[in-house]
């Protein structure tokens, strides 16, 4: 089994769309790759009891989150024919319409990415200690619950 270094998945604030473009560009030299797939999580303006969400503030046990992502990454490399994989998640405040979660998988062929991406995203949502606080227009809040 290949050994991968524990990476820091966290980015302060929103993930800029330019980072997604740059990540794609960074793979142009990896010519064994024939397929990429990307999941982007965006902050939604949910309306709850008549109040609209304007931002989500994320907190996390960051050391454990990075360690768990490392384990998930190793599982994905074992289970699927994936060449490379990148995971980024926001920490701190992210406004509605902005990106807070970026998962990027690359493989030789489409099957590798189509199969691995949902597994990877679902594992991260289920196992990584990140917590979202939904902030309303009047600065009151409620804690996000994943569906």
The residue ranges that bind another protein (CB under 8 A) are: 41, 58-61, 63-65, 67-68, 89, 100-101, 121, 124-133, 143-146
Nearest approach, Cβ of 94 to another protein (angstroms)? 12
Least distance (Å) between residue 109 CB and another protein? 27
Minimum Å gap between C-beta 91 and another protein is 10
**Nearest in space to 80 (alpha carbons), one of 104, 42, 102, 106:** 106
Nearer residue to another protein within complex by CB, 34 or 129: 129
Q: Using the minimum distance from each CB to another protein, give the nearer residue, 33 or 99.
A: 99
- Hunting for tokens 């994943």 — which residue is that? 146
Per DSSP, which regions of 3-111 are E strands? Answer: 10-12, 35-42, 47-48, 51-60, 82-95, 99-107
Q: Distance (Å, rounded) from C-alpha 9 to C-alpha 18? A: 17
Among the listed residues 109, 73, 86, the one whose alpha carbon sits nearest the alpha carbon of residue 26: 86
Nearer to another protein among residue 29 and residue 138 (C-beta): 138
């Amino acid at each position: 089994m290949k050994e991968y270094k524990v990476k820091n998945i966290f980015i302060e604030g929103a993930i800029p769309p330019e980072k997604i473009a740059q990540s794609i560009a960074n793979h142009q030299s990896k010519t064994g790759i024939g397929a990429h797939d990307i999941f982007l999580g965006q902050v939604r303006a949910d309306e709850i009891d008549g109040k609209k969400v304007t931002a989500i503030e994320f907190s996390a046990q960051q050391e454990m989150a990075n360690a768990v992502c490392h384990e998930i990454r190793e599982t994905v490399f074992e289970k699927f024919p994936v060449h490379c994989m990148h995971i980024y998640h926001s920490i701190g405040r992210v406004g509605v319409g902005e990106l807070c979660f970026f998962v990027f998988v690359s493989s030789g062929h489409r099957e590798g990415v189509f199969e691995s991406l949902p597994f990877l995203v679902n594992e991260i949502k289920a196992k990584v200690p990140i917590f979202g606080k939904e902030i309303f227009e009047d600065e009151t809040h409620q804690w996000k619950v994943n569906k």
